[in-house]
Structure 1
């Protein structure tokens, strides 16, 4: 049935042409029900007129081989949008890889918290159509680029969206860290470790260690000591242009991890250098989205009032 001309030209998002016509789906394929969820969303996208591809590991592990399977590089080059179906960990893993391509992402939450996968699975049919047609709010999240230097050589490097965490080993003793910001000595800290978190990561490990919540529009990092020996050693927020260097002075079996998804062991004298990455993650939210709505819901504020 043809629509009247006033309806075809309506500014209603439901009647607009697709802004994103080729959509890739990334699923948390290890989770129960993941196959059905990915397949259901893929069918829905076809109904909306989209071409659909699956991230290669998602396709192989769900057995949904009727859709084109793309690796990260191909997704970044040929797709207009990526839907991440899972939790924040799934978004962290794929977001770090796709950020360099400037591909926008929408997170559909099937995890527990969902600070950055904030579209409830049960509501995607109502929320996605306007986004697909260009009615959305965009939210850029800065990434951190980190390197481990040993004897003047870079022995490990990684990017992080949430945090870079220097930890002591399993031995019940503190480690001593020399901390510098932009080449200026800050302090020698004796603690269980140190968290360097982005505003995105301020709701993760840094929050449980007593760090502040940083709005994602704030350009800064927060350094949060883990169980410091000196109680006056408090979290510090520094500008995002800053370069933070952490040197291992003493302690056993220290390590550094990046978004809790990759790690490397450290030796005395190793330096972990963290600076802003040249890439940022593009997150899309429905119109009217508010960071404070997310905090209130996920942190259970105002319950019982």
Structure 2
């Protein structure tokens, strides 16, 4: 089968400090995947930091944005955190992403590393399932001015300080007052992020086809404060009323320290992340496998 994707980008996980043996195994895996893609008729370009970190040679090297602009497909080798970062940064290019799982869970990097040589050829030939994921556009507004701006694929989280008590948050949806909530924090999650921190805090799992957000309080003072499912066309505003050392996290990657009166606004981004999965893939298969359903007696 001949690949319909001519220019394919390759990105590996390189940020975390790992033992030398693990790094060597990662380098060998990336070299094997690059060689495999070339054998499928693809012109391979390696992301610059990946090439530098692992000493990969023999292929074109491009920085991340140039890779997104030039490639027909990007293959990401790593875990969900790696894919989240790549997805946020390349969404505006519209380039499809394929994830080969070298992490632990693999909710969005769903091709096993030891099975890519079997799974990828039909996908490269056009036999794949397409999956679009919405992004959240979040801003921190202080005294009428935006002091922080970020995209998130999983969630936006307002947290209390590590050694302080609860925070009090004023919550509005499309300018309508919802409630003042006292809690350890508040999570606003996309369907993609509904199986991450929001799930551990008691929120529901949202099918990625649902155009909605889930808003989940973290350890609320009032137990009747329950998760809310909202349409994703609304704007959610969270104002820090009281609490020390509070912060806002965006996919747990970027961090903004908050002052009293700061407002965190969350709305749907104009960009979406485009994933490709093996033909026949379903979200339910992922849940069953990753959450170990149907196991045991």
TM class by shorter-chain length? over 0.9
Of the three residues 24, 28, 34, the one matched with 2:9 is 24
Matched, 1:170 2:162: yes
Alignment-derived partner of residue 95 in structure 2: 103
Q: Which runs of 4+ in 1 moved over 3 A?
A: none
TM-score (norm 2): 0.96
Alignment-derived partner of residue 212 in structure 2: 220
Matched, 1:67 2:62: no
Shift of 1:172: 3.6
Of the three residues 240, 252, 276, the one matched with 1:284 is 276
Alignment-derived partner of residue 267 in structure 1: 259
Shift of 1:65: 2.8
Shift of 1:73: 1.7
The alignment partner of 1:217 has SS state of coil
Matched, 1:86 2:71: no
Matched, 1:181 2:173: yes
Unaligned runs of 5+ in 2: none
Alignment-derived partner of residue 191 in structure 2: 199
Matched, 1:127 2:126: no
Structure number, greater radius of gyration: 1
Shift of 1:38: 0.6
The alignment partner of 2:286 has SS state of helix
The alignment partner of 2:206 has SS state of coil
Alignment-derived partner of residue 11 in structure 1: none
The CA RMSD measured in Å over matched residues stands at 0.8
Alignment-derived partner of residue 242 in structure 1: 234
The alignment partner of 2:240 has SS state of strand
Alignment-derived partner of residue 3 in structure 1: none
The alignment partner of 1:224 has SS state of strand
Alignment-derived partner of residue 233 in structure 1: 225
Unaligned runs of 5+ in 1: 1-13
* Matched ranges for 1:25-44 at <5 A: 25-29=10-14, 30=16, 31=18, 32=22, 33-44=25-36
The alignment partner of 2:141 has SS state of strand
1:159-208 deviation digits (Å, cap 9, x = unpaired): 00000000000124000000000000000000000000000000100000
The alignment partner of 1:128 has SS state of helix
Count of aligned pairs between the two proteins? 290
Q: C-alpha distance in 2, partners of 1:240/1:205?
A: 19
Contact 2:171 2:180 in 1 (8 A): yes
TM-score (norm 1): 0.94
Alignment-derived partner of residue 297 in structure 1: 289
Shift of 1:76: 1.5
Shift of 1:66: 2.2
Alignment-derived partner of residue 153 in structure 2: 161
Contact 2:164 2:243 in 1 (8 A): no
Alignment-derived partner of residue 37 in structure 2: 45
